[in-house]
Chain A
Amino acid sequence: MFQAFGVHGPELTPFADMVIDVLLVALAFALLVTAPRTSRHDVYLLATFVAAVTALRVLLQPLPNVQPVTVAALLVGAQLGARRGVAFAVLVTLLSNLLIGDGWWTLFQAIGWGAVAVIGSQLNLGTADKFRSGQLYVAAVCSAFVFDFIASLSIVTSGMTLSDFAVYLAHGLPFDVLHALGNLTFAVWFGHFVFRALESIDSLEELEQSVVEDYVVEG
């Protein structure tokens, strides 16, 4: 849609581009570091997942607005908590945009998928054995519109009125629907599988529990 409009956000200097990227990387690491007790195994698994989803996004880039990152961010948020979910979203956005095009929009996409990860962290999807798929499907559809709205903010200019922006959003509706449908498809095909795979990383609650147990044992 950006290309169709011919407007794609401010033309950033290489320095400004670098500053944004460095800030986002710093944010991702800060969130990972402050997450309670992340083991080396967890880091490897999360890094693998980041690489896999990045590759998938690049691979599917020719398909308009089919975004595997959205469902992945939801699941990481749901399974590993908001901090690691946001860190995951930021890293995938940065890495994939390095390959398919970096710019002002990277910031908004990172915020968008970060917000989706936070939404995911509020879901209660149960366990791998008692997976509440319905909740995931509803969230997958809704998060498409949330992400598209946040990413669209990158196009706002000083001369753009609210009604202009509304018209812009209206023009993008078919692509939003496509995003939602793509999300639902990913969730139905791979949701349970990914959820189970992420379960091998200690969840936030489990980590907190282990800290408490250690404390009690030591005490």
Chain B
Amino acid sequence: MVKRMALACLLLATLSLLPVQATAPESWDLEWEIDLGDGYITTHPIIDDDTVYVRTSGFWTGEERPQVFAFSTDGEERWNRTSATTVQHDMSPLLLLPSGTGACGSWPDLVVVGWADGTVEVLRADNGTSVWNRTSTIQGWGITGAIVPDGDHLVVPTRTGMMRLCASNGELDFEVELGLGWRNGISVTNDAFWQGDESGSVWKVSREGNASLVAELGGSIRHTPIQTPSGVFVHVQRGATSTIHLLNATQGTAVTVHQGGASPAMPVSNGRFVVTGDSSSLSTFDCERNCSLVSKHPTITNGEMTWDGGQELWYPVNQPNGNWAVSTINESGNITSTFNFSTPHDGYGTAAPSFGENRMAMGNDAGVLMMYVQERTITTDAEPYDWVPIGGALLLIFLLSIGAYATSVNRIDWGWRLVLLVLLVSTLAITPDLSSQWSQSLTENNTEGNSDVWNDSWPESWKGTQVVIIEIDGEQQVAGGLVGYETALDLTLAAANEIPLEVEVESTELGSYVVSINGEEGSGWEYFLDGERAGQSSDRQSVSDSIVLHWRLVRR
């Protein structure tokens, strides 16, 4: 009897510890698929009412050439357009521009196509006939980045820079030379356009077409710079790694917030949180807190990503037999669950899916356009239950029961062994929180009433605010008058933005720690709060509203 009970407990505990695979809250059924022939689908299709638009891409030889297709949502081809002159990969996503009127004329519903031979071609959405076209400079490639609408104009990332065209007739507003571009989109703000290039430079172009260099980060920027509450967010590709930077839009300074994996995807934002992808993980950043890292999920994604209108982010997993992954990102920016969405044509892919009413269109390097329909609407958005804590607790209870049984049959040595094992596992589980609380209390006790760190040369207005000193070899740089930052890391990044200095931060299991400031690594960086040495990683160290945070470079 005892043996059976023990076996049952063990089975229950083991099952409860198995990894939880989240299930899709929606049910998508494949309605139809169409093989588009040679070439890949490398950019997302577009669903508009009863029409879906898609383009093919590839390295073309012989008579084959890339095409743009329009299909009805039932899968019937409405029109297609072939480029006779482009032979390189067409990576510029299609743009659907609704009809409108502006200062330079009116236009019907349009499909805007950027071709790899440098041509911008504008097609009527209803029949695919060409409305106008305009060429741009070619250096190996032509247009590979995303064209964006700007009122009655289109802004085009060309191979060598940027141009702004009238949407109705293609009349040139301005053209400006920047660095060489590849898949580099344009971010539109009220006063300017932002673009990165293949040299890692970030450019700001005024509405009059005057370009200024904001930052030189090295590497390659292959996405649209993202405007966030904390600055301009860019993910820079660098050989086998990548780095994520936050630019101060007014001062043109850059802070390194994270190091990522190889071949970055195109990051997306939902306002507060920015999501990046690369060949090692999907990561979320809270850009109301200096774009600090919130959460990571291991995966390989190197192309487009898209929100499905809610909290779910869809992205292609770029590997053999790769499918699409769907990660749920909650209100805190944490990736709470991920499920895989498989299709009959899984494989390498970089194109995000596209969503219409109860419909989803997707394609990958297999070159097959697939249309899915949603059979039932979303019912609940409840987060999956996390069985790990209850499973762990059951396992510990089970071990303790075995220990108690061993003791009852005079195997006291085994009783002690099991009790100690349970104690060790429990202590391991609580140590991170315990250590954090312990360090917090030590720091608070040590910093009470310490006022001798104030420097009389500082402005009076800094009193009662947050002040940061960054000291390299005895030379101090100070930023003060900062308010509202809750952790030492947030405060540091804000100060670095203001001074300005570049900060490199690395995330570890024990917290984030500052690797370098202004490229200086030394033997490490240590920090003091009101003159007292801090005891935990800066992202876990809370700071008061009136504090002096002192970073010092250690050299030995």
A residues bordering B, Cβ < 8 Å? 1, 3-11, 62-64, 66, 157-159, 164, 167-168, 170-171, 173-175, 177-178, 181-182, 184-185, 188-189
Contact = CB atoms under 8 A, between A and B. Distances in A.
Contact of B510 (A3, A159, A170, A173): A3
Contacts of B526: 5-7, 157
A164 B552 CA distance: 14
- Central interface residue in A62, A64, A185, by most chain B CB within 10 Å: A185
A172 to B, nearest CB: 8
A185 B424 contact: yes
A174 B436 CA distance: 10
A66 B424 CA distance: 9
Nearest to A165: B533
A164 B536 CA distance: 14
B533 A6 contact: no
B195 interface: no
B533 A181 contact: no
B136 interface: no
Interface in B505-556: 508-511, 513-515, 521-527, 532-538, 552, 554, 556
Interface stretch (B57-65, B326-334, B426-434): B426-434
Given A7-B554, A167-B446, A167-B532, A175 B435 contact: yes
29 contacts: A1-B510, A3-B510, A3-B511, A4-B536, A5-B513, A5-B524, A5-B534, A6-B513, A6-B515, A6-B526, A7-B524, A7-B525, A8-B523, A9-B556, A11-B521, A11-B522, A64-B510, A66-B428, A157-B523, A157-B554, A158-B556, A167-B442, A171-B536, A174-B431, A174-B434, A175-B435, A178-B431, A181-B420, A188-B413
Interface of B: 413, 416-417, 420-421, 423-424, 427-428, 431-432, 434-435, 438-439, 442, 446, 508-511, 513-515, 521-527, 532-538, 552, 554, 556
Contacts of B417: 188-189
B304 to A, nearest CB: 34
A4 B511 contact: yes
A170 B538 CA distance: 18
A184 B427 CA distance: 13
Nearest to A160: B533
Given A6-B538, A7-B523, A64 B439 contact: no
A78 B417 CA distance: 22
Contacts of B522: 11
A4 B427 contact: no
Given A3-B508, A3-B537, A8 B524 contact: yes
Q: Is the interface of A mostly helix, strand, loop or mixed?
A: helix
A175 B509 CA distance: 15
Contacts of A4: 510-511, 513, 535-537
Contact of A6 (B420, B432, B509, B514): B514
Nearest to B433: A174
Given A6-B526, A181-B424, A185-B421, A174 B536 contact: no
A177 B536 CA distance: 17
B399 to A, nearest CB: 12
Contacts of A178: 427-428, 431
Contacts of A185: 420-421, 423-424
A62 B510 CA distance: 11
A49 B8 CA distance: 37
Q: Which 7 A-B pairs have the closest CB atoms?
A: A7-B524, A171-B535, A10-B556, A6-B513, A174-B435, A4-B537, A185-B420
Contacts of B421: 185, 189
B533 A168 contact: yes
Contact of A168 (B511, B527, B535): B535
B552 to A, nearest CB: 8
A11 B434 contact: no
Contacts of A175: 431, 435
Contacts of B413: 188
Contacts of B416: 188
Given A3-B513, A7-B554, A171-B536, A63 B428 contact: yes
- Which of B417, B533, B534 has the most A CB atoms < 10 Å from its CB? B533
A184 B420 contact: yes
Contacts of B442: 167, 170-171
A8 to B, nearest CB: 5
Given A3-B511, A4-B536, A9-B523, 18 more contacts: A3-B510, A4-B510, A5-B513, A5-B524, A6-B514, A6-B526, A7-B524, A8-B524, A64-B510, A159-B554, A171-B435, A171-B442, A174-B431, A174-B438, A175-B431, A185-B424, A188-B417, A189-B421
Contacts of B521: 11
Nearest to B428: A63
Contacts of A168: 533, 535
Contacts of B427: 177-178, 181
Given A157-B556, A167-B442, A171-B536, A6 B424 contact: no
Contacts of A167: 442, 446, 532-533, 535
Contacts of A182: 424
Residue of A5, A62, A171, A175 with most partner-chain B CB within 10 A: A5
Nearest to A171: B535
A1 B432 CA distance: 11
Nearest to A156: B556
Residue of B428, B435, B525 contacting most chain A CB atoms (<10 Å): B435
B438 A173 contact: yes
A173 B515 CA distance: 25
A108 to B, nearest CB: 13
A168 B424 CA distance: 24
A178 B435 CA distance: 11
Contacts of A11: 521-523, 556
Contacts of B509: 62
A60 to B, nearest CB: 11
Contacts of A7: 523-526, 554
B376 to A, nearest CB: 42
A215 B432 CA distance: 59
B436 to A, nearest CB: 9
B370 to A, nearest CB: 41
B523 A10 contact: yes
Contacts of B532: 167
A188 B434 CA distance: 25
A36 to B, nearest CB: 35
Nearest to A192: B413
A62 B515 CA distance: 21
A159 B552 CA distance: 10
Contacts of A170: 442, 535
Contacts of A189: 417, 420-421
B534 to A, nearest CB: 8
